[in-house]
A = this chain, B = another copy of it.
Amino acid sequence: MGAGMEDSDLGNDDTDTSGPDVEVRTLADLARVAGVSAGTVSRALAGKSLVNAETRERIQALARQYGFRPNQMASKLRSRRTGVIGVVIPLGHEKRQQISDPFFLTLLGHLADQLTEAGYDLMLSRAIPDGTPDWLERITGSGMVDGVLLIGQSDQSEVIDQVVSHYRPLVAWGNHREGQKHIVVGTDNELGGRLAAEHLIACGARRLAFFGDTGGIEIATRLRGARAAAEAAGLHITHVPIKLADAEMGPQLEAAFAAPDADYDGIVTASDLIAMSALHVLHEMGRKIPGDVQIVGFDDLPLARLTSPPLTTVRQEIGQGAKVMVEKIRALIEGETRISKVMPPTLIVRETTRS
């Protein structure tokens, strides 16, 4: 009608200094207000030196004033860089459809910190591996992330290798295995298992058990290390596959201790969580710790020092691990090639062993 909204006359730069009377949603809008072209606005906001310093600051001030922020989707589409790292937690061998392991959650927290620091956003996905590479490719192939961080490999090492053959920027937390294609940051789980078992043996334990479900390769490797230590000492170690599901853990443990030849005096656990649960069950059974039974955890969660007695455990350098993962993924994105890093765990002796 009469009142056309083609407000293209930019001669009247009179009163619109303070009031965002006209909505500015796009670069073009802001360009009109500033009396320059959209391209210049784009460069100005990106802080490029190509544009006159004075103009740049004027435009930035204008953007602030109008509360303008460039549309990220458009930006990402055009620049073919998302600034987003996908973090995926494979729910692999755990039945429970839920992210619950405090270790992974803690690692996630650290990753969030490191990624933010590095200027990346973090896109979180939980995935349920199904044998095909699809659960992973749904993320790598989405075009939504510049790279992928995998929190744990579960039992999907082959699948991951397969994906990595055509998708480079991927780093996993977990266990390094010879011949594996994908890059891994993790703890030397075999050494960890060994340290735990050796310590127990040195403290006089003879009837050993390993508590943990070996569906994931990390845990399996820990068992291997523990078993090696046991055998070196001429001892047997019983494997008890406790699963990491909050609700079931108590009953599982009770059943384990009720078994006929279950009078263990030294227990290596696959995680602090299991250790804490075991501690609790043993308390209820009236067993003295470390008098009757000694226990070693794995992870050294912040909580490990709060149990009573405080938990002897194998420490994984989780903050450091997150840092390394982020470093590696960044390098990978830059096109560099990288190698895996396995970090040695440390035995933290507290009071659930007789040291």
| A residues lining the B interface (CB < 8 Å) | 1-8, 10, 13, 67, 69-74, 76-77, 82, 84, 87, 97-100, 102, 105-106, 108-110, 112-113, 116, 121-126, 137-138, 141-144, 165-166, 168, 176, 178-181, 183, 246, 276-277, 279-280, 283, 302-303, 305-308, 310, 337-342
Which B residues lie within 8 Å of A141 (CB)?
67, 69
Of B87, B137, B165, B342, which one neighbours A2 at CB under 8 angstroms? B342
Closest partner residue, chain B, to A100 (CB atom): B109
Q: 3 closest pairs, A vs B, by CB?
A: A4-B339, A99-B109, A73-B77
Cα–Cα, bound, A178→B2 (Å): 11
Closest partner residue, chain B, to A76 (CB atom): B73
Which B residues lie within 8 Å of A72 (CB)?
142-144
By the criterion CB–CB under 8 Å, are B181 and A306 in contact?
A: no
Which B residues lie within 8 Å of A310 (CB)?
280
Smallest CB–CB gap between A153 and chain B, Å?
A: 16
Of B70, B77, B87, B283, which one neighbours A308 at CB under 8 angstroms? B283
Enumerate 26 A-B pairs (CB-CB under 8 Å) in ascending A order: A2-B339, A2-B340, A2-B342, A3-B339, A5-B340, A10-B166, A10-B168, A13-B165, A72-B142, A73-B143, A74-B143, A84-B123, A99-B109, A100-B302, A102-B102, A105-B105, A112-B124, A116-B125, A121-B123, A122-B123, A277-B306, A279-B308, A280-B305, A280-B310, A306-B307, A307-B308
Closest partner residue, chain B, to A102 (CB atom): B102
Which B residues lie within 8 Å of A306 (CB)?
276-277, 279-280, 307
Smallest CB–CB gap between A259 and chain B, Å?
A: 22
Cα–Cα, bound, A141→B183 (Å): 35
Closest partner residue, chain B, to A4 (CB atom): B339
Closest partner residue, chain B, to A280 (CB atom): B306
By the criterion CB–CB under 8 Å, are B121 and A122 in contact?
A: no
Smallest CB–CB gap between A157 and chain B, Å?
A: 14
Smallest CB–CB gap between A97 and chain B, Å?
A: 7
Smallest CB–CB gap between A187 and chain B, Å?
A: 12
Closest partner residue, chain B, to A277 (CB atom): B306
By the criterion CB–CB under 8 Å, are B126 and A124 in contact?
A: no
Cα–Cα, bound, A52→B340 (Å): 49
By the criterion CB–CB under 8 Å, are B109 and A105 in contact?
A: yes
Closest partner residue, chain B, to A302 (CB atom): B246
By the criterion CB–CB under 8 Å, are A6 and B337 in contact?
A: yes
Which B residues lie within 8 Å of A339 (CB)?
2-6
By the criterion CB–CB under 8 Å, are B105 and A98 in contact?
A: no
Which B residues lie within 8 Å of A342 (CB)?
1-3
By the criterion CB–CB under 8 Å, are A181 and B5 in contact?
A: yes
By the criterion CB–CB under 8 Å, are B100 and A126 in contact?
A: no
By the criterion CB–CB under 8 Å, are B112 and A99 in contact?
A: yes
Smallest CB–CB gap between A231 and chain B, Å?
A: 24
Which B residues lie within 8 Å of A4 (CB)?
183, 338-340
